Structure 1
Amino acid sequence: MLNKILKNAVTIAIGGHIRPDGDCVGSSMGLYHYIRDNYNDKKVDVYLEEIPDKFYCLKSTELIRHEIAEDKEYDLFISLDCGDKERLGFSASLFDKAKRTYCIDHHISNTGFAQDEYTVADASSTCELVYQLMEYDKISLDTAEALYLGIVHDTGVFQYTCATPSTFRMAASLLEKGVDGARLIQDTYYEKTYAQNQILGRTLLESILFMDKTCIASYVTKKTMDFYGVKVKDLDGIVSQLRVTKDVEVAIFMYELETNVFKVSLRSKERVDVSKVAKYFGGGGHKKAAGLTMAGTYYDVLNNLSRQIEAQMMQK
């Protein structure tokens, strides 16, 4: 399948969504290594925003480009783990100039913005889809590590319902390539810095339960982030920790982008499709994991979200 996608393309750009997470970084670097290893006639570059420090364990992540040379144009732009062109961020201009565009994604909210695409909404991760396009015998250890990392992060270490039997089989086959799965999980998913644990602790301490204790919410202001010396990438995992609270159906975590503008992360268990909530406010994502950006005070945002969540809860 990749042979068909890459046909007639000599120069290839790979791009992913803003604020790249494990699946975005893993799929980008996995595809990068696979092309480098198996297509000597092609030149490939990866364009992503600054990635979390923990993902630099993957080989060649230091080669990721964080800005664009003015004269850069590519035969093919491959968008990974991105539901719409705007979420490509700074690399969207390369997408617009590319001779061909292709999208590989698993977001149910994908807008079909590329010329060609491979999108499967119920796939565990984009890494799973990228794996399906590869020939197993041609997957190197570097490729396998990147794909395994992405699968681990988007399945919550295989605990989410998106992790199907085929997901486990893929993960097992990647381990057979020599991936040290235990180390990758510990170093990139569980391990936190002291400052990350501090901000997590404060967020949990200041969280609130509402809607008969079926929802939990918390937020972090820019002032608080500055106090603890943390950046946006240090907030990874907080919403998932809120989600595991007993009897909670929906978890909401927000952090302040600027005064009265919040980036919102939503997670659910069974009763609420948070992708619909996010889409209503211009965001997107998956049934059980979605996000959006909204202006207003913390309580304004929470009230707006609550109305959409409650509407679904009342239908159950």
Structure 2
Amino acid sequence: MEGILSYIGDAKTVGIAGHINPDGDCVGSCLAVYNYLCQQRGDLDVHVFLNPIPTIFSFLTNAASIEQADEEDTNRSFDLFIVLDCGDTSRLGPASTYFRNAKHTICVDHHLGKHEFAEQNFVDSDASSTCELVFDLMDKNLITKEVAECIYTGMVTDTGVFQYSCTHSSTMRSAGFLMDLGIDYPRIVERVFFEKTFNQNRVLGQALLNARQYLDGSCIASVITQKEMAQYDVLPKHMEGIVSQLRATRGVEVAIFLYQVETGGYKVSLRSSDLVNVAEIATAYGGGGHAKAAGCGIMGDPWAAIDTIVKKVKLQLKETNKD
């Protein structure tokens, strides 16, 4: 695989963006590429666009440089636009306009989705994370500690600190290389997975209190509303990690967590232990993701939506039992 610098060509302006509701792999890959290009090509005018990121990723170098795309700025254009961790232009949000206006485009992703929408597509659904693919596209001699921290953050996020089945021996070798660059990897894991404010812990407790079991305990679901967020003085971006805590319940195959966003709709997070492909379920609602971690958005009654999702889970479990 050629290095990412070889695809810059004579570009003077570069835009970078990832999917809406960015997670660690999205933020990590976008900032890794942003920092890498800024460090190696000081002549470039580079901009990175993401929706507001979870505060747990604010420690990454140049997180403060992330901009909000303006959907009304329809004339803005870049010589090159790089899409990371996103399998469909509809998931880019307002940044999709910049992508369409760009002279040249690149996509780097590991999701199952509608790929081949860019001129150059680096897609591998077997990869642990987009950050691992980004690592493969970089000259290893040019990766700095700052870039390494971004890549490592994305890798540990999408592998559950190397617990999930998407973790391969190549993933561990790449992580080892990054560790050798002197990154504070215990601190990264602490900040991303364990460190929470008092109010975040309180709203986690509320989510657990709201939880309901389905399918003889093999499925669990919970909902947090805007009213409850206001009660605990937290925001939608602070909901990170709740669905994983639900999935950790003994006997649970699928965890479903919905939290209300500012529009009144709900963000749906799905996690599977092994038997159910939650990406297939999320895709039915216009979302996407991986077999064991996916998401989408819905409008309407959240518990009614959960009932429908549970039916889809039940169908998959029946098919699995047949086999």
Which category describes the TM-score, using the shorter chain as reference length? over 0.9
Asked whether the equivalents of residues 236 and 261 of structure 2 are also in contact (C-alpha less than 8 Å), the reply is no
Counterpart of 1:152, as a letter, is V
1:294 counterpart = 2:321: no
Q: Partner letter of residue 55 of structure 1?
A: F
Of 119, 127, 132, the residue aligned with 1:123 is: 127
User: Which residue is 2:33 aligned to?
Assistant: 31
CA shift, 1:212, in A, is 1.3
- Specify the SS of the correspondent of 1:29: helix
Please tell me whether the aligned partners of residues 109 and 286 of structure 1 are also in contact (alpha carbons under 8 angstroms). no
- Give the conservation status (yes or no) of the 8 Å contact 1:260–1:298: no
| 2:54 match | 52
Shift in alpha-carbon separation, 1:258–1:30, aligned structure 2, 3 A: closer
CA gap of 1:307–1:230, structure 2 versus 1, over 3 A, is same
Could you tell me which of 70, 86, 92 is aligned with 2:90? Answer: 86
Matching of residue 4 in structure 1 with residue 6 in structure 2: yes
What is the CA–CA distance in structure 2 between the aligned matches of 1:27 and 1:303, rounded to whole Å? 35
State TM-score, norm by structure 1: 0.96
Q: Which amino acid aligns with 1:145?
A: E
Deviations 1:97-117 (A, max 9, x none): 100111101111244322321
CA shift for structure 1 position 120: 0.7
Partner of 1:14: 16
Distance 1:110 1:250 in 2: 25
CA distance in structure 2 between the aligned counterparts of 1:185 and 1:277, rounded to whole angstroms: 29
Matched-pair contact (CA < 8 Å) for 1:108–1:121: yes
Contact in 1 for aligned 2:236/2:260 (Cα 8 Å):
no
Question: Aligned Cα RMSD in Å?
Answer: 1.5
Q: Are 2:129 and 2:158, in contact at CA under 8 Å, matched by a contact in 1?
A: yes
- In structure 1, how many angstroms separate the alpha carbons of the residues matched to 2:274 and 2:63? 36
Could you tell me which amino acid in structure 2 is paired with residue 74 of structure 1?
Answer: F
Among 199, 203, 209, the alignment partner of 1:199 is: 203
Contact 1:77 1:95 in 2 (8 A): yes
* Correspondence for 1:183: 187
Identity %: 43
The ranges of structure 1 where at least 4 consecutive aligned residues each deviate by more than 6 angstroms after the TM superposition are: none
**How many corresponding residue pairs?**
316
- Structure 2 residue 223 is the aligned partner of structure 1 residue 219: yes
- TM-score normalised by length of structure 2: 0.94
d(CA) in 1 for partners of 2:298, 2:64: 33
Alpha-carbon distance in 2 for matches of 1:280, 1:49: 23
Listed one character per residue, the Cα deviations across residues 196-245 of structure 1 (whole Å, up to 9, x for unaligned) are 10000111122111111100000101111111111111000000111111
Q: 1:310 to 1:99 in 2, by over 3 A?
A: same
| Residue type of the alignment partner of 1:200 | L
Q: CA deviation at 1:302?
A: 1.1
Of 53, 62, 65, 1:63 maps to 65
Residue in structure 2 matched with residue 247 of structure 1 by the alignment? 251
Q: Given that residues 260 and 297 in structure 1 are in contact (C-alpha distance below 8 angstroms), is that contact kept between their aligned partners in structure 2?
A: no
Are 1:135 and 2:155 an aligned pair?
no
1:277-303 Cα deviation digits (max 9, x unpaired): 111222111000011112231221012
Shift of 1:259: 7.7
- Structure 2: state its 5+ residue gaps: none
Residue 132 of structure 1 aligns to which amino acid in structure 2?
D
Is the contact between residue 109 and residue 275 of structure 1 (CA under 8 Å) also seen in structure 2? no
Q: Is the 8 A contact 2:214 2:310 kept in 1?
A: no
In the alignment, is the contact (CA less than 8 A) between 1:203 and 1:220 conserved in 2? yes
Gaps of 5+ in 1: none
Quote the Cα distance in structure 2 between the aligned partners of 1:251 and 1:109. Answer: 22
Alpha carbons 1:215, 1:250 under 8 Å: kept = yes
Q: Tell me the CA shift for residue 260 of structure 1.
A: 6.5
2: CA distance, partners of 1:113 / 1:307: 33
Q: Which moved more, 1:34-43 or 1:139-148?
A: 34-43
Q: Within 1, Cα distance between the matches of 2:264 and 2:77?
A: 38
- The letter of the residue matching 1:267 is R
With over 3 angstroms needed to count, the CA separation of the structure-2 counterparts of 1:224 and 1:101, relative to structure 1, is: same
Give the alignment partner of residue 96 of structure 1, picking from 88, 95, 100: 100
Query: After superposition, what is the alpha-carbon deviation per residue over 1:241-268, rounded to whole angstroms, capped at 9, x for unaligned?
Result: 1111111100000012368632111000
Cα distance in 2 for partners of 1:165, 1:267 equals: 23
